[in-house]
Amino acid sequence: MQKLLEKVKQIFDEESFIHEPKQLYEPIEYTLRLGGKRIRPMMLLAANQMFGGDIEQVRYAAIGIETFHNFTLLHDDLMDKSPLRRGKPTVYCKWDENTAILSGDTMYAMAWRYFLRQPHPHLQEILNCFNETGIEVCEGQQYDMNFEHQKDVSIADYLMMIRLKTAVLLAGALKIGAMYANATPEDVQHLYNFGIHLGLAFQLQDDLLDSYGDVAVFGKQTGQDIRDNKKTYLILKALELANAETKQELQQLFASTPSDSECKVKRVLEIYAQIGIRQYVEEAIQKEFDLAQQELEDIRVEKTCKKPLEELMEALFDRKK
Q: How much is the average pLDDT of 198-215?
A: 91
pLDDT at position 320 over 90: no
Q: Please list, residue by residue across 8-17, b when 16 or more beta carbons sit within 10 angstroms of its beta carbon and e when fewer do.
A: beebbeeeeb
| More confident call, 270 vs 87 | 270
Q: Is residue 88 part of a domain?
A: yes
Per the domain annotation, does 60 fall within a domain? yes
Provide the sign of the torsion angle of the four alpha carbons 18, 41, 288, 222, taken in this order. Answer: negative
Residue 244, domain member (yes or no) = yes
Angle at 250 between CA 249 and CA 255, to 5 degrees: 100
Nearest C-alpha neighbor of 114 from the set 67, 150, 169: 67
Domain contains 160: yes
pLDDT at 1 over 80: no
What is the rounded CA–CA span in Å between residue 227 and residue 245? 21
In a domain, 20, yes or no: yes
Model confidence band, residue 219 (pLDDT cutoffs 50, 70, 90) = low
Asked if residue 321 is part of any domain, the answer here is no
What is the maximal distance between C-alpha atoms in the chain? 61
Is 39 within the bounds of a domain?
yes
Residue 135 covered by a domain: yes
Note the pLDDT of residue 218: 61
Q: How many domains does the chain have?
A: 1
Closest CA to 237 of 277, 268, 286: 277
Q: Report the CATH number that the domain containing residue 172 is assigned in CATH.
A: 1.10.600.10
Beta carbons of 298 and 184 less than 8 angstroms apart:
no
User: Which residues, 6 or more positions from 69, have their beta carbon under 8 angstroms from its beta carbon?
Assistant: 40, 169
276 conformational bin, left if phi > 0, alpha if psi -120 to 50, beta if neither: left
Instruction: Categorize the per-residue pLDDT at 321 as very low, low, confident or very high, splitting at 50, 70 and 90.
Output: very low
217 pLDDT above the threshold of 90: no
CA-wise closest residue to 188 among 196, 180, 179, 197: 179
DSSP secondary structure string for all residues of 240-307: HHS-HHHHHHHHHHTT---S-HHHHHHHHHHHHHHHTHHHHHHHHHHHHHHHHHHHHHTS-S-HHHHH
User: Which of 231, 230, 220, 174 lies closest to 197, judged by CA?
Assistant: 174
For 101, other C-beta atoms within 10 Å of its C-beta total: 15
Phi-psi region of 8 (alpha: psi -120 to 50; beta: other; left: phi over 0): alpha
* Residues of the domain holding 263: 2-316
Neighbours of 2 (CB within 10 A): 8
Q: Is 219 left (phi over 0), alpha (psi -120 to 50) or beta?
A: left
Residues 220, 80, 98, 66, Cα dihedral to 10°: 60
SS3 content of the chain, % helix, strand, coil (to 5): 75, 0, 25
pLDDT band at 93; cut points 50, 70, 90:
very high
The per-residue pLDDT for range 272-316, each reduced to its tens digit, is 999 999 999 999 999 999 999 999 999 999 999 999 999 988 888
- Mean pLDDT on 167-182: 98
Which of 143, 145, 146, 76 is closest to 107 using CA atoms?
A: 76
Instruction: State the pLDDT confidence band at 84, using cuts at 50, 70 and 90.
Output: confident
> Is pLDDT at 205 greater than 60 in this prediction?
yes
What does residue 110 show for φ and ψ, rounded to 5 degrees?
Answer: -60, -40
CA atoms within 13 A on the CB side of 277: 25
